[in-house]
Amino acid sequence: MIRSRWKSASVVAAGSAALLATGLAFAPTASADAFRCGSAGSDPRAWCAYVQKAPNGLKAHTRPSTSAPTSFTLANGKKVEVDCWTTGTSVNGYTIWAGLYTPYGHRYVSDYYLSTGHIQSYVSHC
């Protein structure tokens, strides 16, 4: 009797582990698109994105140009509030730049380095 209980418990545990592994294998991946900032932004309805593909940081410029003065550098993985979009200097074939909401006013970064998806679809032109 005790032996069959242990055997039943082993079968249930093995089945649960298999279901968990299957669920993890088919779990959805994180979206690479922008998302609502919620309470983290200046406006809960604002859009946020993450800095990506910038292992040495992403320079925020005063204008949408790589030759414009830089105000600060954002770390890779940093969450930023995207306020608008515009065009500027091409960076790896991308001419879209994001206007970021900052305490210093608008600062611009190449959209190439943000997880925005198709930024023109949800934020207005600067």
| Strand ordering across the sheet containing 35-36 | 35-36, 47-50, 79-91, 94-100, 107-110, 58-61, 70-74
pTM: 0.69
For 54-107, the pLDDT digits (tens) are 989 999 999 999 999 999 999 999 999 999 999 999 999 999 999 998 888 889
Distance CA 83, CA 95 (A): 17
Fold of 35-116: SH3 type barrels. (2.30.30)
Distance CA 63, CA 120 (A): 18
How is residue 87 written in tokens? 């065009």
How is residue 125 written in tokens? 């032109």
Q: Where are the domains of the chain?
A: 35-116
Q: Other CB atoms closer than 10 Å to residue 13's CB: what's the count?
A: 10
Longest dimension (CA), the chain: 79
For 11-66, the pLDDT digits (tens) are 334 444 443 343 333 333 334 566 767 765 567 778 889 999 998 999 999 999 99
Radius of gyration from C-alpha coordinates of the chain = 22
Distance CA 73, CA 50 (A): 13
Distance CA 115, CA 13 (A): 40
Average model confidence (pLDDT) across the chain: 77
